[in-house]
Amino acid sequence: MRKSIIIAVTLLVSAMTFAQKADRDYNVLKGLSWGLGLPIEMRDLPGMGDALNIGYDCAYPVNDRFALGFYLTGGFGYWSEFKQYSTEDHTHVTFRLAAGLMMSIGDRTQRPFLLGVAPCMGFGLYDLDMVLPMEVRFGRFITDRWYIMGELTYHISLAHETAVLEPAVRVGYNFGRKSR
């Protein structure tokens, strides 16, 4: 129910920004981002690995200093156990999909800050256990097109077996329109 309300509010705000005047002088964030994460399993089978993520980031202006939108991200990777319990099965594949709210805060012509939040909107597989990702992203534009973000994801296990923390670094490129 909570996820449906968040999705509905996001879609409503996105639709309202489309209805605004088209000749405004704003930058729009429509970017493609790539990330490299380090999933760390802490509970069931302690281990660590690598994860590669790719995503789409989108934020439309609400006013002069704030833009609101969404992001979608997906990724895959692997992790290995620190202490091998079995010789056949000690490397595991990971997979995840997530969606969240993306915000651009500050003057869009002067490298604004970026903030993203995904409160359990998505799913993932770690050690054959289904998990819900809780993400927080924070970053800033480096140039008028390139941006960098740090990401911290905690994967909540539905079976209460695994506890995965995944810090990541993301780099993105904005394909959105430039201000006139």
Tens digit of each residue's pLDDT (9 = 90 or more) over 96-126: 899 999 999 988 778 889 999 998 888 888 7
What's the pTM?
0.76
User: Among 56, 76, 79, 58, which residue's Cα sits nearest to residue 67?
Assistant: 58
Nearest residue to 56 (alpha-carbon basis) of 87, 35, 77, 26 = 35
**Residues pairing with 80 in the sheet:** 48, 91
| pLDDT range class, residue 9, cuts 50, 70, 90 | low
> Average per-residue pLDDT in the chain?
82
Cα 15 to Cα 28: distance, rounded to the nearest angstrom: 14
The CA distance from 137 to 144, in Å, is 19
Other CB atoms within 10 Å distance of the CB of residue 5 = 9
